[in-house]
């Protein structure tokens, strides 16, 4: 479904990714873990065409999308939920969803109704402004807005950050429900336990290099591996 092969990404002269490979199959949940500054966000930005890799290949469904603009990548079927959520504060919940669906229309299962079924809380808040939402509600809206475009792949950057455990649990259910529709999910998380307990496979990045690819349950069950690959920040979260 999504294939990333040997990408090198730079910020100016400084190289952030070194030959990164990554693969996401249809309906798979894959997590991308690693310490602060490892290059996780850069990896998502590279896929979206926000920070273009200098070398390597990115393909979606067998078609190369390397070098495409972010709006073209979005139309091709990759949705991105950025870490800072970027809700339109002066639009209502419903307007935020409608705007997304209309700005990048793609056919598919995710009607606004279906999104409200996934996040019933959003339906009760549909006339509320973006600025009136809690962190958890904003995160639901950010995910809903991405689904409104009917992506084949969703990239989630630290969706649990700053959220209460009960909200985190409901996000986990939502991520599984997204996968049920065949949409693949690439989940970047500091909260390794959360990510590993929902993912099929895991990748670990360190210093811009891919260090490990492993079945998520295997890494979840192995504290020695977690300590080795995720270090202090990993063991805190795990």
Ligand X SMILES: Nc1ncnc2c1ncn2[C@@H]1O[C@H](COP(=O)(O)OP(=O)(O)OP(=O)(O)O)[C@@H](O)[C@H]1O
Q: Which residues bind ligand X (CB under 6 A)?
A: 11, 14, 16, 34, 36-42
Find the length of the chain: 238
Q: Going by DSSP bridges, is the β-strand pair 29-33/14-24 parallel, antiparallel, or unpaired?
A: unpaired
Give the shortest CB-232-to-Mg ion separation in angstroms.
Answer: 17
Q: Which residue has tokens 């019933």?
A: 120
| From the list ligand X, Mg ion, none, partner contacted by residue 36 (C-beta under 5 to 8 A by kind) | ligand X
Find the shortest distance in angstroms from Cβ 193 to ligand X. Answer: 16
Window 11 to 40, contacts with Mg ion (CB under 5 A): 40
Residue for token digits 């500054």? 37
Ramachandran assignment for 57, one of left (phi > 0), alpha (psi -120 to 50 degrees), beta (any other): beta
Binding at 34: pick from Mg ion, ligand X, none (beta carbon under 5-8 Å per type): ligand X
Write down the least CB distance from residue 105 to ligand X, Å.
30
Query: CB-hemisphere CA count at 13 Å for 37?
Result: 3
Q: Which does 224 bind (CB under 5 to 8 A by kind): Mg ion, ligand X, none?
A: none
Q: Give me the helix-helix angle, 93-103 and 135-147, nearest 10°.
A: 30
Between 122 and 192, whose beta carbon lies closer to Mg ion? 192
Query: How many residues line the site for Mg ion (CB under 5 A)?
Result: 2
Question: Within 13 Å and on the Cβ side, how many CA atoms surround 103?
Answer: 15
In the complex with Mg ion, which residue's Cβ is closer, 40 or 85? 40
CA neighbor of 78 nearest in space, from 135, 129, 153: 153
* Least distance to ligand X, CB of residue 47, Å: 12
With CB cut-offs between 5 and 8 Å by kind, which of Mg ion, ligand X, none does residue 11 bind?
A: ligand X
CA distance 59 to 56: 10
Element (H, E) at 234: helix 223-237
9 versus 41: smaller Cβ distance to Mg ion: 41
Least distance (Å) between residue 166 CB and ligand X = 24
Cα separation, 12 vs 225, in Å, equals 34
41 scored as a contact of Mg ion (CB under 5 A): yes
Partner whose footprint covers residue 96, from Mg ion, ligand X, none (CB < 5 to 8 Å by kind)? none
Q: Cβ of residue 81: shortest distance to Mg ion, in angstroms?
A: 12
- The nearer residue to Mg ion, 85 or 118, going by C-beta atoms, is 85
Nearer to Mg ion, 42 or 226 (CB): 42
Contact indicator for 19, 209 with CB cutoff of 8 Å: yes
Helix boundaries (H) for 58-106: 70-76, 93-103
Report what 42 binds from Mg ion, ligand X, none; CB cut-off 5-8 Å by kind: ligand X
- Residues lying near Mg ion in the complex (CB under 5 A) are found at 40-41
């Amino acid at each position: 479904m999504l294939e990333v092969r040997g990408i090198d990404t730079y910020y100016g002269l400084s190289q952030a990714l070194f030959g990164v490979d990554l693969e996401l199959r249809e309906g798979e949940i894959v997590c991308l873990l690693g310490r602060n500054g490892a290059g996780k966000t850069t990896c998502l930005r590279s896929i979206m065409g926000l920070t273009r890799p200098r070398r390597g290949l990115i393909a979606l469904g067998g078609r190369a999308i390397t070098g495409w603009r972010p709006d073209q990548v979005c139309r091709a079927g990759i949705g991105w939920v950025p870490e800072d959520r970027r809700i339109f504060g002066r639009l209502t919940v419903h307007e935020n969803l409608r705007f997304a669906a209309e700005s990048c229309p793609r056919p598919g299962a995710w009607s606004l109704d279906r999104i409200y079924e996934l996040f019933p809380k959003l339906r009760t808040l549909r006339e509320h402004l973006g600025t009136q939402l809690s962190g958890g509600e904003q995160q639901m809206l950010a995910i809903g807005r991405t689904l409104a475009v009917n992506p084949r792949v969703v990239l989630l950057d630290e969706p649990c950050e700053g959220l209460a455990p009960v909200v985190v649990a409901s996000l986990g259910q939502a991520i599984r429900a997204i996968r049920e529709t065949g949409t693949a999910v690439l989940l970047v998380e500091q909260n390794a336990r959360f990510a590993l307990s929902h993912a099929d496979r895991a990748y670990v990045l360190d210093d811009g290099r891919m260090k490990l690819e492993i079945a998520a349950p295997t890494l979840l069950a192995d504290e020695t591996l977690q300590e080795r690959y995720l270090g202090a920040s990993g063991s805190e979260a795990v």
